[in-house]
């Protein structure tokens, strides 16, 4: 079984703790000049997202987590699972609600997503950083109002609700940053 | 150093022998087919000079410690190490204050008189029990009660104390102030003399200097007795064996120097990069190195 020594610890390394895959967020080397060395880490549980502190004696080994980020294409949902395809091997996998989180709110068919696999199964799904979606429903636009800086909620075809400027109309296509959920621009 | 009559010396970086300290990992190199080591501090060679010449000495020199890398550690760094004949560790702390105060004046930094805190008092204040009753299990329990992580596996009481000091004592030290921790447990004496404190605990005549929570220097009222030195080395080798660490070559010259007669003296090693870090108010050692280890 693959393992990592504390000397190899760094941000982003995936390790197994208490049976769950974790990602190292921060690693601090602690050692008095004449004394025991430790690695004091902050780790994120990749299943729950919780960040906790874990300290190890230097030189200890920790089991590696079989976690891999891979680009996959979104195909469709059957209501329970969201199905993705590896564009090179054509292998298909279904991600459940927990793995999807809020990602489904941004997904259009054929979107390329980053799917985190744990032991070959989807653990988390990240939508593309930017998506272009059509507005299904919003209050009527105030033509020419580009100066007041106000905004209003707009319902997207995928289910997300985004705050858009007042001049944006129903049926328009807009660009959104999925990391913040914020409107970026109109798409012409 | 020059103005106080301390003589600058230069000693080899490459040695046939290494420190036996189980917490220090010497870089092993091969010279003409023979295993040799890069020194982890100039202590042994400077002590040989002290035995031969009984004179105050100092040097600024690169040292090497394997498996030490982090925001405050680089495997290659610089020590300012010096020895004062006839002084004990308390007197050395006084003279060190004069030196640091001068440096702070040069750099126009506000000076606060360093505080001296006894190790036992600091630990007892955190754990609420007598030093002699402290166990690794008690320390683990304390970490858990505070919701802090304690490492899995077996830890010696000294290792657990190291983590306790780092986690619960150092963060409370006044920022921008120097603090000395004095009178370490006798089990952490390294090459310092031991004495008995007023509560009857065996303590090491040793101190560490911190600036805020940053360790700056480590000093001893130096162990002079050759027999005790041999016992400590034996103990180190035993610990190295138990922990499956490299069985290093013992410095027979150091032992011979102590047997020939070692002067009563106090010595201290100061991390030059750490001093530069605090003077330039940066939090990473990389910011005071031309090229950190990854780029060396």
pLDDT at position B68 is 96
Model confidence band, residue A47 (pLDDT cutoffs 50, 70, 90): confident
Alpha carbon separation from B224 to A85, B82, B255 (Å, rounded): 73, 16, 10
Query: For B140, which residue in chain A has the nearest alpha carbon?
Result: A55
Chain A residues with beta carbon closer than 8 angstroms to that of B150: 55
Question: Nearest-CA neighbor of B92 among B213, B262, B232, B209?
Answer: B209
pLDDT at position A145 is 60
pLDDT at position A48 is 87
Instruction: Could you list the beta-strand ranges (E) of chain B.
Output: 7-8, 14-15, 28-31, 34-38, 57-64, 76-85, 115-118, 178-185, 194-196, 202-211, 214-221, 265-271
Alpha carbon separation from B113 to B101, B109, B174 (Å, rounded): 9, 13, 12
pLDDT at B263 over 70: yes
CA distance A114 to chain B (A): 30
| CA gyration radius, chain B | 19
Chain B residues with beta carbon closer than 8 angstroms to that of A29: 68-73
pLDDT at A173 over 70: yes
Share above pLDDT 90 across residues of chain B, in percent, rounded to a whole number: 96
pLDDT at position B224 is 97
DSSP notation for A29-82: EE--TTS--EEEEEEEETTT--EEEEEEETT-EEEBP-EEEEEEEEEEE-SS-E
Q: How many CB atoms lie within 10 A of CB B293?
A: 15
pLDDT at B198 over 70: yes
pTM: 0.84
Chain B residues with beta carbon closer than 8 angstroms to that of A34: 21, 23-24, 188, 190, 218
Alpha carbon separation from A24 to A2, A28, A38, A183 (Å, rounded): 16, 11, 15, 31
Asked if this assembly's ipTM is beyond 0.90, the reply is yes
pLDDT at A184 over 90: yes
Chain B residues with beta carbon closer than 8 angstroms to that of A51: none
Residues A115-158 have pLDDT tens digits of 999 999 999 999 999 999 999 999 887 666 666 678 899 999 99
Average pLDDT over residues B233-250: 95
Average pLDDT over residues B146-162: 95
Query: For A59, which residue in chain B has the nearest alpha carbon?
Result: B67
pLDDT at B163 over 70: yes
CA distance linking residue B77 with residue B19, whole number of Å: 17
Model confidence band, residue A49 (pLDDT cutoffs 50, 70, 90): confident
Kind and range of the H or E element at A182? strand A182-187
User: Of A30, A54, A59, which is closest to B166 when you measure between CB atoms?
Assistant: A30
CA distance linking residue A167 with residue A140, whole number of Å: 8
Interface test with A, best of B149, B155, B267 (most A CBs within 10 A): B149
Check: CB of residue B145 under 8 Å from CB of residue B139.
no
Distance of CA A146 to the CA centre of its chain: 33
Kind and range of the H or E element at B279? helix B272-279
pLDDT at position B141 is 97
pLDDT at position A142 is 66
Residues B67-91 have pLDDT tens digits of 999 999 999 999 999 999 999 999 9
Chain B residues with beta carbon closer than 8 angstroms to that of A32: 162, 165-166, 208, 215
Please say whether the dihedral angle defined by the alpha carbons of residues B214, B217, B223 and B226, taken in this order, is positive or negative.
positive
Considering chain B, what is the average pLDDT of its residues? 96
Cβ–Cβ below 8 Å for A60 and B269: no
Considering chain A, what is the average pLDDT of its residues? 92
Query: For A55, which residue in chain B has the nearest alpha carbon?
Result: B151
Question: Nearest-CA neighbor of B285 among B269, B270, B266, B272?
Answer: B272
pLDDT at B8 over 70: yes
User: Of A35, A52, A60, which is closest to B153 when you measure between CB atoms?
Assistant: A60
Cβ–Cβ below 8 Å for A32 and B208: yes
User: Of B23, B72, B151, which is closest to A35 when you measure between CB atoms?
Assistant: B23
């Amino acid at each position: 079984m693959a393992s990592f020594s504390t000397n190899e610890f760094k941000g982003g390394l995936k390790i197994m703790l208490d049976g769950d895959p974790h990602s190292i967020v921060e690693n601090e080397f602690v050692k008095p000049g004449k004394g025991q060395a430790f690695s004091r880490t902050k780790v994120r549980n990749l299943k729950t997202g919780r960040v906790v502190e874990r300290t190890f004696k230097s030189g200890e080994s920790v089991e590696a987590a079989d976690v891999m980020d891979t680009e996959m294409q979104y195909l469709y949902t059957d209501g329970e699972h969201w199905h993705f395809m590896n564009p090179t091997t054509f292998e298909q996998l279904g991600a459940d609600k927990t793995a999807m989180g809020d990602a489904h709110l941004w997904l259009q068919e054929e979107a390329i997503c980053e799917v985190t696999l744990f032991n070959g199964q989807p653990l988390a799904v990240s939508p593309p950083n930017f998506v272009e979606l059509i507005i299904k429903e919003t209050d009527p636009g105030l033509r020419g109002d580009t100066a007041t800086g106000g905004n209003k909620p707009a319902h997207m075809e995928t289910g997300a609700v985004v705050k858009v400027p007042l001049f944006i109309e129903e049926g328009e296509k807009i660009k959104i940053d999925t990391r913040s959920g914020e409107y970026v621009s109109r798409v012409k | 150093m020059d103005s106080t009559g301390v003589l600058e010396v230069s000693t080899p970086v490459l040695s046939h022998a290494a420190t036996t300290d189980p917490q220090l990992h010497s870089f092993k190199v091969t010279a003409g087919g023979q295993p040799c080591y890069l020194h982890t501090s100039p202590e042994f060679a400077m002590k040989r000079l002290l035995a031969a010449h009984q004179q105050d000495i100092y040097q600024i020199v690169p040292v090497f410690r394997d498996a030490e890398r982090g925001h405050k550690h680089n495997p290659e760094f610089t020590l300012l190490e010096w020895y004062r004949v006839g002084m004990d560790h308390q007197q050395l702390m006084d003279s060190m204050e004069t030196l640091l105060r001068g440096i702070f004046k040069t750099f126009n930094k506000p000076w606060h008189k360093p505080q001296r805190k006894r190790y036992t008092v600091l630990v007892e204040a955190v754990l609420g029990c007598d030093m002699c009753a402290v166990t690794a299990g008690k320390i683990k329990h304390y970490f858990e009660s505070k919701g802090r992580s304690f490492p899995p596996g077996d830890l010696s009481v000294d290792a657990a104390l190291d983590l306790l000091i780092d986690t619960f004592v150092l963060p409370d030290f006044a920022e921008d102030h120097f603090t000395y921790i004095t009178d370490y447990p006798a089990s952490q004496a390294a090459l310092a003399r031991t004495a008995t404190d007023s509560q009857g605990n065996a303590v090491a005549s040793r101190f560490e200097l911190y600036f805020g929570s940053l360790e700056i220097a480590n000093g001893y009222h130096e162990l002079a007795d050759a027999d005790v030195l041999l016992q400590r080395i034996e103990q180190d080798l035993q610990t190295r064996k138990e922990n499956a660490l490299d069985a290093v070559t013992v410095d027979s010259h150091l032992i011979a120097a102590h047997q020939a007669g070692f002067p009563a003296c106090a010595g201290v090693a100061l991390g030059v990069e750490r001093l530069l870090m605090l003077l330039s108010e940066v939090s990473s050692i990389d910011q005071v190195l031309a090229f950190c280890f990854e780029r060396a």
